[in-house]
Amino acid sequence: MTDQIQSIAGGSEVKDRPVDDERAASLWSDAWRVLIRRPVAVGAFIVILMMSSMAAFPKLWTRVDHDACDITQSKLKPSAEHIFGTNERGCDYYSMTVHGARASILVAVLSTLAVLIVGGLLGMLSGFYGRWLDAVLSRVGDIFFALPLLLGALVFLSLLQSQSIWSVVGALSVLGWPGMARIIRASVLSTKNMDYVAAARSLGASDSRLLFRHIMPNAIAPAIVVATIALGGYVAVEATLSFLGIGLQPPAVSWGIMINQGDDWVTQGYPHLMLFPAAFLSITVLSFILLGDALRDALDPKLR
């Protein structure tokens, strides 16, 4: 009987790799093979990689200082010298667009990580222990669900004296964790009663080992899909908040601020001041959404 239990649990005491680890590895390897065969997924990943490199290493894309402005070259249209033209202060608009990726993507990445960590931990605890802890966390999550993300962020940031990347990340994280917690909770509920989890428990595995070694590797896939799509959503939310004047403020550079400033000049014959940052924003958001959809299809065998 003990041998049978060890076999179900993955033979963790006689093998180097448990069965559930092998199963998780197989899931991700199969998903990878599916993704690399889809041109849309590969294209979206390449775009995301390009935008991320702009955010992390802007000098790879331009050597021009986005703060080096010449008012005598104000509102120049795209040319060989300034491929995106210049803004009303005479700043090179291509350099500003490249540097604007950092704030937009940094807010999205930090917010998604915070939501994934906080929502993931609370969802795991809620689904694993259940009872009163599940009831309390679910009701707290319902309270936050009653606050729309964009409206709640507007109210939260309007109460602060100054806005920065960290304040925007804090607002989005506080309001965004309940959705991730629900997804993780549902995954844990469907995973914790599996035979290999019951076998590991019967062998004396601690709660922390059950959660992080056996349950989490098999319950994390839906959260990864949602987090990928959420990255695009947070890029759009940051741009919206900055466009409305509630998010990041000049002299910070972000696509939302650039769209806000360029909107005033569209009807005066300078549409490039809004179109270029808007195009970069739209392509980035679309790429995250397409990659998330492809991940969902790749990780769910029923959708292949």
Structural domains in the chain, sorted by start = 27-64+83-303 (1.10.3720.10)
The per-residue pLDDT for 43 is: 92
pLDDT of residue 4: 45
pLDDT at 10: 45
34 and 232 in contact (C-beta within 8 Å)?
no
pLDDT of residue 288: 93
Q: Output the pLDDT for position 8.
A: 43
Q: Identify the pLDDT of residue 6.
A: 45
Residue of 121, 94, 234 whose CA lies nearest to 180? 121
Nearest-angstrom CA–CA distance, 241 and 170: 13
Query: pLDDT digit string (tens) for 16-63?
Result: 444 455 555 566 677 777 778 888 889 999 999 999 999 999 989 988
Element (H, E) at 100: helix 93-129
| Predicted TM-score of the model (pTM) | 0.81
96-136 per-position pLDDT tens digit: 999 999 988 999 999 999 999 999 899 888 888 878 888 88
Residue 20's identity, in one-letter code, is D
Number of other CB atoms surrounding residue 138 within 10 Å? 15
Cα angle value 94/91/46 (rounded, 5°)? 15
Stretches where the chain sits below pLDDT 50 are: 1-19
